[in-house]
Amino acid sequence: MGLSSLLLTAALFGLKATALNNGLARTPQMGWNTWNSFACDLNETVILNAAERIVSLGFRDLGYEYVVLDDCWSAGRNSSGYLIADSEKFPKGIGHLADKIHELGLKIGIYSSAGKWTCARYEGSLGYEEKDAALWASWGIDYLKYDNCYNEGEEGTPKLSFDRYNAMFKALNATGRPMLYSLCNWGVDGPWNFAPTIANSWRTTGDLNNVWDRDDVNCPCSELEGLDCKTPGYKCSIMNVLNKAVYYPSKAIPGAWNDLDMLQVGNGGLTDDESIAHMSLWAALKSPLLMTNVMTKIDPPTLSILQNPAVLAVSQDPVASTPVRQWRYFVDDVDENGKGEIQMYSGPLSGGDQLVLLLNAASKAREMNATLVDIFWESGPKGTAKQVKQHWDVYDLWANRMSNEDAAAIINGTFTGQSPYNLTAMGGAHEVYSRPLPSNSKVLMGSKVGSVQPSGTVTAHVRPHGVAMLRLRATDKKDEL
């Protein structure tokens, strides 16, 4: 559909989509983004190669559906003020690329900034919101990542930031084409307070780096400073971002999510345990899951981490509740950067299940435990929650991780038979994640590793810089009280 005809259709029929009712991101969005691996070296070939691998390797069947072009795709504006695509990078145009992405059963995203320029100093969209939104809609764009660079001082209060980002929300809405709106203002002015009515997600901090836990001058804010950080920066470690995000879990609701930034799994810099912990925490905290690794060079451990349906089922759980950090303790066995702590998160899942995540961010493996009193504290303090008096089975969500042999066979195209991780064959990823998970499904539940008596304690062995990600399910046993 051409730009003029799309605008006419929207005008005639009054097509509208409001942020929380646009049918998008009812659970956190999943997909792939160009930036961390390609930066400004993106082009049509890079993107189509990644999209084809997303399909052939089975990522689409698990719910990864967006392919997002980040910065550096444009070549300025034409005489009418419309953005034009870089013809060397996209010789057939982005509309053509969008058609190819859609033919693969995927959706396409694009990038701009709510400023004069983008972060890589290409043309921004401040003051051009209606033109740019209409253009993207005519190309068939399904997703906008909207950054915060060169905003000409239009920040400093929530109202200033809201008005600037609301202008693009209104412009997207006016096109009549549903486009997921991913606001990327790095947590400035507290977007968890002003963005839920206009955006499907909002970045909460400076840019995430592929480093576990290290202070960096480029990421000057930490802990509670993140609630009003004037210079969010970049090169923020996983633990830095995590320890800023714990203060507003309740702000995330269906269709509107706290975005802890894109995944660094598969980009080097992290151990296998750190990558598992990163994936687990981002899924548990309901952050969007945007992969950024080079899909054509993916290795078996990376594939098996990104393709764990039991973990993805937590991310996409229909209860849409972000777990709360129930406790945190600093420990003596610090790592080379002087860091060492342990934490416990818990929160409800569908079907009356409960998520428990034990994080060991110290340098030695340890036995960790969490009492049912602590696990269900949000339902009733000091053991008053009814769940404390129940019996629970405990499932380890990483116990059935895909083997390196199977992952290698999938990558090499030698895997025989139908993949047990093909949720499309089970009715579609969204459908599978939205319905009750059968206890005997190791694909979706992991493996049962124990049980807990009323008023009991959950225990797990947790490796350094690792997690135990557990799903509790009430048994049919009667209370013995």
Instruction: Give the separation between CA 333 and CA 363, rounded to whole angstroms.
Output: 6
Q: Please provide residue 76's backbone torsions phi and psi, each rounded to the nearest 5 degrees.
A: 90, -160
Query: What's CA 251's distance to the chain center, in Å?
Result: 15
Which one, of 281, 427, 474, lies nearest residue 360 by Cα? 281
Rg of the chain (C-alpha set): 22
Q: Name every residue whose Cβ is closer than 8 Å to that of residue 448 and which is 6 or more positions away in sequence.
A: 393, 394, 395, 439
Q: Please provide residue 5's backbone torsions phi and psi, each rounded to the nearest 5 degrees.
A: -70, -35
Active site residue 207: yes
Q: Three-state SS for 263?
A: coil
Which one, of 70, 60, 57, 138, lies nearest residue 99 by Cα? 138
Instruction: Give the separation between CA 178 and CA 197, rounded to whole angstroms.
Output: 15
**Per the residue annotation, which of 142, 147, 261, 317 is the catalytic one?**
147
Number of H-type helices and E-type strands within the chain: 15, 18
429 close to 316: Cβ distance less than 8 angstroms: yes
321 close to 257: Cβ distance less than 8 angstroms: no
Active site residue 299: no
Give the CA-trace dihedral at 427, 433, 436, 437, to 10 degrees. Answer: 90
Which one, of 326, 343, 356, 294, lies nearest residue 465 by Cα? 343
Q: Name every residue whose Cβ is closer than 8 Å to that of residue 121 and which is 6 or more positions away in sequence.
A: 150
Cβ-defined contacts of 382-389 (< 8 Å, 24+):
383/455, 387/354, 387/474, 388/454, 388/455, 389/454, 389/455, 389/479, 389/481
In degrees, rounded to 5, the angle at the alpha carbon of residue 260 between the alpha carbons of residues 244 and 122 is 120
Give the CA-trace dihedral at 36, 39, 45, 49, to 10 degrees. Answer: 0
Which string of DSSP letters, residue by residue, matches 332-357? S---TTS--EEEEEEEE-GGG-EEEE
260 close to 29: Cβ distance less than 8 angstroms: no
102 close to 108: Cβ distance less than 8 angstroms: yes
**Per the residue annotation, which of 132, 189, 207, 393 is the catalytic one?**
207
Which of the residues are catalytic?
147, 207
